[in-house]
């Protein structure tokens, strides 16, 4: 007879609170874990970044060349090579102009090529630039074009090299820097600047990536 007067409200309250607590912990875990997951999804994997830039208003075409310790050369005809990636073959203003949906024309005044090295390869890397085309200078007196190269170590961050050179005519090729990567991924402080021709000496290889 006593059981009929026993209330189950307290038990239901406890059960409800347990469910609410579990749901809260689940949501909290999702909030804490999800951003890290997305961060990894979009994380840019790179050990080194090499940037080539020249006059943003110029139509001249400058090409970036990077040779790794295996002798493989990254350039516009081989934009993915042995762990190295070239983001764009910038032709000067010629491929920086876009037609919008409304018919208007937009020109992005940036002349830049960027290469990423996405792994540690022990040995020497060589960074060159080549004056491929003087498109806007035909029939005119040549004027030196200043070209800038920057080399960065990403993790940990370190400026390896920043420098510029003048290019006077179509066909000019300059070696900007030669840097050596050690087995542990660190870069030897002794940079080298001995010239080496890469254009025309860059055989096509199968990418290992």
Q: What is the pLDDT of residues 150-179, one digit of tens each?
A: 999 998 999 999 999 999 988 999 999 999
- When mean pLDDT is compared over 87-96, 124-133, 138-147, the highest value belongs to 124-133
The pLDDT value given to residue 34: 47
- Nearest to residue 183, comparing CAs of 126, 120, 124? 120
Average pLDDT over residues 86-91: 78
Q: Which two tokens stand for residue 209?
A: 């990536």
Residue 180 has pLDDT above 90, yes or no: yes
Average pLDDT over residues 78-99: 76
Q: Which two tokens stand for residue 192?
A: 């080298």
The pLDDT value given to residue 45: 79
**Cα–Cα separations (whole angstroms), residue 81 to 35, 145, 152, 174, 179:** 32, 28, 19, 21, 18
Residue 7 has pLDDT above 70, yes or no: no
Which residues, including other chains, have CB under 8 Å from residue 117's CB and lie 6 or more apart? 46, 47, 48, 49, 50, 66, 68, 83, 84, 125
The pLDDT value given to residue 127: 98
Which residues, including other chains, have CB under 8 Å from residue 206's CB and lie 6 or more apart? none
Assign residue 49 a region (left: φ > 0; alpha: ψ between -120 and 50; beta: otherwise).
Answer: beta
Quick check: bond before 102 cis, omega within 30? no
Residue 141 has pLDDT above 60, yes or no: no
Residue 116 has pLDDT above 80, yes or no: yes
């Amino acid at each position: 007879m006593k059981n009929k007067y026993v209330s189950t409200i307290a038990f239901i309250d406890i059960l409800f609170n347990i469910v609410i607590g579990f749901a809260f912990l689940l949501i909290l875990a999702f909030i804490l874990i999800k951003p890290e997951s997305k961060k990894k999804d979009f994380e840019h994997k790179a050990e080194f970044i090499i940037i080539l830039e020249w006059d943003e208003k110029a139509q001249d075409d400058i090409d970036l060349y990077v040779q790794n310790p295996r002798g493989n050369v990254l350039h516009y005809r081989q934009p993915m090579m042995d762990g190295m990636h070239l983001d764009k073959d910038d032709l000067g203003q010629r491929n920086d102009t876009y037609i919008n949906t409304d018919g208007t024309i937009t020109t992005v005044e940036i002349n830049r090529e960027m290469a990423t090295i996405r792994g540690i390869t022990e040995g020497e890397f060589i960074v060159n630039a080549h004056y491929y085309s003087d498109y806007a200078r035909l029939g005119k007196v040549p004027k030196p074009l200043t070209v800038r190269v920057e080399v960065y170590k990403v993790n940990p961050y370190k400026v390896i090299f920043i420098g510029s050179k003048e290019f006077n005519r179509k066909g000019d090729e300059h070696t900007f820097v030669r840097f050596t990567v050690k087995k542990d991924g660190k870069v030897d402080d002794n940079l080298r600047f001995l010239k080496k021709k890469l254009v025309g000496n860059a055989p096509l290889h199968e990418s290992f990536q």
